[in-house]
Structure formats: structure tokens, C-alpha cells
Structure 1
Amino acid sequence: MAAAPSPVEQDGMVSSYKDLLVWQRAVELALAIYRCTAEFPVEERFGLTSQIRRAGVSIPSNIAEGYGRGTRKDYKQFLSIARGSTLEVQTQLLIATELGFGSSELREEVGALAEQVSKMLYSLISKL
């Protein structure tokens, strides 16, 4: 028996979560976070570095998981969790900035991507 189509697929918009621009940007954000945090102090490996990386990876992961759940309600819930993680990344990035961790260029890249992904998630949630 075939799995039920996702809420987005039912609308005929995309055939995979990988087609979602917001998921693609979220993956870019996660990669940018890893590049940025590679410059954080070694003693932060189990602190801020680990925390911001986990939050960054959870964004595209929750978009994908929600897409695969098959109901609009579940999809919206996972998108909301992903959006919460973008806000978590923004907060942690602010803390890293105040502490002088990482290069300002990479922090700016992460900040811009986080803001973009957050807005895209808000828009998608509103449309569902």
C-alpha cells in the first residue's frame, strides 16, 4: 500500500521536501553554522558550538519530517518547531557575537540566512 501523499504534494506544489526552497535554504543555514562554529574556541565544543549546531540541523530535519507526516496539522507543527529553532539560532548567534566567537563575516551570513529561513517558514505556515 502506498503512503499517503504529503499535504504539500496534495496541493500539487512539489513532489519532495527537497524541492522546497525553504528546506534548501535551511540546509545552507546548517552548513553556514558549521563553518562559523568551526572558528569558536575549543572549550566551547560541548557548549555553545554544540547547541547552535544542533539547533541548525534541526531546522531542515523538522521541515523534512513534517513533510513526511502526511497531515497538514502535523506538517504545520513541525514547521513551527523548525521556526522556533531558527529563533534559537538567532539568539545563540547573538551570544556568540557578544563573546567575539567566530568571524563577523560568517556570523553575518548565518544571521541573514536564519532571518530568511524564519520568514519563509512563517509564510509557509500561514499558507497552510
Structure 2
Amino acid sequence: MRPSKSFKDLIVWQKAHQFVLGVYKYTRRFPKEEKYGLTAQFRDAAVSVAANITEGYAKRSKLDKIRLMNIAQGSLEECKYYVILSKDLEYGENRTLEDLSEEVSRLLSAYIRSIEDNIRN
């Protein structure tokens, strides 16, 4: 496998970016009164996932990388709750976002493990 030249080469970032785009598309259908509530929070958390992966990629310290990837994991968990809440509020179900969030979660965990393994070696 060739080394990445940019954060855009990371599959985890690519999937996180797809997730952000999906969240924006999904939340467009939310009621107007949610504009500064759930819609804004959901979008901010989704952007945070991809943004923290991006920032972590640029860090030289492996511990800094892990910390930012862990922040991305926290934001992703927040988004998973927003998917549940949106469904329960009857704003619509979105199985695609559920699946994509699980995929990003697995990829983030694997990426963190690979950094941790690199620290040990």
C-alpha cells in the first residue's frame, strides 16, 4: 500500500465526508423550527468527524493523531444519537446514514489501532 499524500487519500476521511454530505441532505427535510436546533447540531457534529480526521492527519505526534481521531469518534457517536432522535421525532428514517456511521466507526477504530501499533514498534 502506498503512503497517503493527503488526508483526502484516507478511506476513513472519504467515508466521513460522504457521511457529512448525507447528513446535510437528510437534514434539509427537517422542519424549519429545527434550523438552529437539531439541524445545526447534527451538521456541526458530522463536520467535526471529518474535520478532526483532517486535523489529526496533519499532526506529527502520534499521540496528537490518536487524540483527534478519538474526538472524531465522539462526534460520530453524537451523530448516531441524532439519527435515532430524528427517527423518533418522525423526521424520517435514514438507514444509509446508520450504515455509513458504523463503517466510519470501524475505520476510525482500525486507524487508531494502526497508530497505536506504530507507537509500540
Q: Normalized against structure 1, the TM-score is what?
A: 0.86
State the superposition RMSD in angstroms. 1.0
Q: Distance in 1 between matches of 2:3 and 2:104?
A: 19
Residue identity over aligned pairs, in percent, reads 37
Match in the other structure for 1:96: 86
Number of equivalent positions: 114
CA drift at 1:124: 0.8
Q: Distance in 2 between matches of 1:68 and 1:40?
A: 35
Q: What code does the residue aligned with 1:39 have?
A: R
Runs of at least 5 residues in structure 2 that lack an aligned partner in the other structure: 116-121
The question of 1:112 aligning with 2:102 is answered no
The question of 1:43 aligning with 2:30 is answered no
The question of 1:63 aligning with 2:53 is answered yes
CA drift at 1:34: 0.3
**Alignment equivalent of 2:70, drawn from 60, 80, 87:** 80
The runs of at least 4 consecutive aligned structure 1 residues that moved more than 4 Å come to: none
The question of 1:18 aligning with 2:18 is answered no
Match in the other structure for 1:127: 114
Residue deviations 1:52-84, cap 9 Å, x none?
000000111000101112111100100000011
Runs of at least 5 residues in structure 1 that lack an aligned partner in the other structure: 1-11
**Alignment equivalent of 2:18, drawn from 15, 28, 43:** 28
CA drift at 1:15: 1.6
Q: Distance in 1 between matches of 2:61 and 2:10?
A: 17
Q: Distance in 2 between matches of 1:13 and 1:88?
A: 31
Q: Distance in 2 between matches of 1:62 and 1:54?
A: 12
Q: Normalized against structure 2, the TM-score is what?
A: 0.90
Q: Distance in 1 between matches of 2:95 and 2:22?
A: 10
Residue deviations 1:71-101, cap 9 Å, x none?
1110010000001111100011101110011
Q: Distance in 1 between matches of 2:40 and 2:91?
A: 14
CA drift at 1:13: 2.6
Residue deviations 1:13-44, cap 9 Å, x none?
31211100000000000000000000011100
